[in-house]
Structure 1
Amino acid sequence: MLHLRMIVPPDRTEEAVRLIESTVGTTHVVVLPGAAREPAGDLVMCDVAREAVDELLHGMRELRIDQDGSIAVENIDFSLSTRADAAEEEAPGEAADAVIWEQLSGATHEESTLTITYCAFMILATMIAACGVVLDNAILIVGAMAVGPEFGPLAGVCTAVVQRAPKLAVRSLIALVVGFAAAIVATTVFSLGMDALDLFSKSQLDADRPNTSFIWQPDPFSFVVAILAGIAGVLSLTSSKSGALVGVAISVTTVPAGANAAVALSYGDFGQMWGSVEQLGLNLFGIMLAGVLTLYAQKALWRTQRGQWTRPSKR
């Protein structure tokens, strides 16, 4: 269950309450007239099943509650209520399958914004991966994958395509391109510095490297893994299974490919550099393609499951 707390202009309170009561999966409706001071209005609260919240939020936005008042959504970690149990049973579909599009758009907007922190994580992750590449150390490669924040902008692009939000798409693409460009440039300088300290060498880069040579040698499996990871990543976001994102991060060769390209560039090995760039592009394209198709599939499936579920108003 989710908890909605809204500040509603008094002239729209009755309509908002009517909408809540006519939405399947809602309960525990509370109205406190005149309780809100900034902005002024009535405080309206209710609990709603996850499956029904997207429809309810859409209705509230049509009433312009988000513009003239406010809408806050909170998770309910634990609830003891027979009525809440009944509301969840009434709601169509399963909670785990429901996509809250407003929440997804908000989350991807935040994660896909180009910030100093985002760039710092990208640079640090790529530098860690560079150490893993030169030392042929799989543990460092996995660690770098987990640190990399690139899935946020990738998810932003997918959401923007499905939701037809060009501003989010541009913002996400800028974060993705600038983040990787900054990371590769910084890691190239880092590699040159490590070489000057005799900590990196070209012979290490040219060695067999059985644990990491796949990074600059893309093959069909690279695309297959990217597709599967894109599906898993989007499902983890839309179902709030955020723990799965770690598995997604360490299953695709994005940050390591950028790192290998940077180290190869520092030594003038353009063969490895272009192979790494191809690997990077293949993984990014595969993740975005799978993410877009997954969101479209979820949208169609949920629309089919939900149908036109409504219940008579209590008024």
Structure 2
Amino acid sequence: MKKIAIHVREDGHKRVIEALEDLYYTISLAGEIYEITVFTPDENLDDLIEKIRSALDLRYNDNMIEVSTPDFVISSLLERAEKKHVEKEEKTPVEKLLDSIRGYAELDLEKLALTSIAGLIALSGLLLDNPVIIIGAMLLSPIIGPIYGFTVYVALGMPRESLRCLGVLAALLLGVFILSAIATFLISTVIPLALTDEIASRLVANPIYTLMAVLLGFAAVLAFNRGTSEVIAGVAIAAAIIPPTVVTGLVLVLEPVSLISSALLVAGQIVGLIAGALVAVTLLKVEPREARDKAIAKRYLIRSVVLIVFLFALLLWLTWLMWR
């Protein structure tokens, strides 16, 4: 159940009331501003916001829509309304999506520190041949954020923000790569290092890894969109991309001849994750509300899909050649 509080000027409240026809609401007047409160099931939220936005002139600063989730509501009228409610697919409002990804296009010290620490822990797990340590490191990494933000911004026709998300992703992975190479070099000056089974398994460019990344990207974005914690949804993403990136930095020091195959694996994972995430936001019907914005967003989405499909096919082909 969601609570929608609508603040509207006196000269526009009648249009809002017409949009709320057949719905139960309360209304109060404070000066020249009406506050209209309406409750709705989560599944109806997106459609109702669409109706309210069409009736509310948001060019005025006094007009606004506030959505919240009450702990509980006791009302016999709402109980009867819920019994009559017809179940339908829930769709997350685009405003909520934008609010949830707002920080993913910004690179800050916290993201860089968490990803770097996750990379160092994964490096220790790889050198110790301990998969438990490797997976445990993934709980720290915020890698899912830039990927999720990129796909949502692309679906909404916001290329500048989507490119910034890619920049954040590139910076985080570059940091992991450089830090892994430096740490491996420093450790190797004190302790002789060998390629463990966990490292060797990430030196083989197998097309199955890329296909797996598509499924992981799809599942993680779908789960994240449905309200799953970023930490939980991001573990699969981080597990798919952080260890191969660490291995790339590691082999740069220990076995440079394997650098190309390990880098190809990382590239395939990144493209696969983004491809799966784009499929997810497409199926979730993430799009702007205005018709003009929808047309622009569709163009950007088509271009992004064509580019990702090209890169995906190219990497699969290169991976197949090396795997054979």
One-letter amino acid of the counterpart of residue 32, structure 1: S
Is the Cα–Cα contact under 8 Å of residues 144 and 234 in structure 2 kept in the other structure?
no
Instruction: Give the match's secondary structure for 2:276.
Output: helix
User: Structure 1, residues 209-267: CA drift from partner, whole Å, max 9, x if none?
Assistant: 234432232313212321221121121122213375155346x4201111111222233
Instruction: Give the match's secondary structure for 1:72.
Output: strand
The aligned runs of 1:124-203 (5 Å cut-off) are 124-196=117-189, 198-199=190-191, 201=192, 203=193
Structure 2 vs 1, CA of residues 263 and 297 (structure 1 numbering), >3 Å: closer, same or farther? same
Structure 2 vs 1, CA of residues 42 and 138 (structure 1 numbering), >3 Å: closer, same or farther? same
User: Structure 1, residues 49-80: CA drift from partner, whole Å, max 9, x if none?
Assistant: 22221223234444343862333322234334
Instruction: Give the match's secondary structure for 1:149.
Output: coil
Aligned partners of 2:98, 2:84: CA distance in 1, in Å?
Answer: 27
Aligned residue number for residue 295 of structure 2:
none
Is the Cα–Cα contact under 8 Å of residues 217 and 237 in structure 2 kept in the other structure?
no
Structure 2 vs 1, CA of residues 270 and 295 (structure 1 numbering), >3 Å: closer, same or farther? same
Instruction: Give the match's secondary structure for 1:254.
Output: helix
Instruction: Give the match's secondary structure for 2:142.
Output: coil
Structure 2 vs 1, CA of residues 261 and 211 (structure 1 numbering), >3 Å: closer, same or farther? closer
Aligned with 1:286 (options 272, 293, 296): 272
Q: TM-score, normalised by structure 1?
A: 0.79
Give, in angstroms, the shift of residue 297 of structure 1: 1.8
Aligned partners of 1:214, 1:137: CA distance in 2, in Å?
Answer: 13
User: Structure 1, residues 128-181: CA drift from partner, whole Å, max 9, x if none?
Assistant: 111112111101210122221111111112112222221321221111111211
One-letter amino acid of the counterpart of residue 113, structure 1: E
Aligned residue number for residue 47 of structure 1:
39
Give, in angstroms, the shift of residue 93 of structure 1: 4.4
Identity %: 19
Aligned partners of 1:215, 1:64: CA distance in 2, in Å?
Answer: 56
Is the Cα–Cα contact under 8 Å of residues 106 and 165 in structure 2 kept in the other structure?
yes
Worse-matched range after superposition: 100-109 or 237-246: 237-246
For structure 2, the residue ranges without an aligned partner over 5 or more in a row are 287-324
Q: Does 1:295 align with 2:291?
A: no
* C-alpha RMSD over aligned residues: 2.7
Q: Does 1:79 align with 2:73?
A: yes
Aligned residue number for residue 6 of structure 1:
6
Q: TM-score, normalised by structure 2?
A: 0.77
Aligned partners of 2:9, 2:78: CA distance in 1, in Å?
Answer: 27
Q: Does 1:238 align with 2:225?
A: yes
Is the Cα–Cα contact under 8 Å of residues 3 and 69 in structure 2 kept in the other structure?
yes
For structure 1, the residue ranges without an aligned partner over 5 or more in a row are 301-315
Aligned with 1:265 (options 233, 252, 277): 252
Aligned partners of 1:142, 1:67: CA distance in 2, in Å?
Answer: 50
Q: Does 1:111 align with 2:104?
A: yes
Aligned partners of 2:60, 2:131: CA distance in 1, in Å?
Answer: 50
Is the Cα–Cα contact under 8 Å of residues 129 and 140 in structure 1 kept in the other structure?
yes
Aligned partners of 1:211, 1:67: CA distance in 2, in Å?
Answer: 59
Aligned residue number for residue 15 of structure 2:
15
Is the Cα–Cα contact under 8 Å of residues 51 and 92 in structure 1 kept in the other structure?
no
Instruction: Give the match's secondary structure for 1:45.
Output: strand
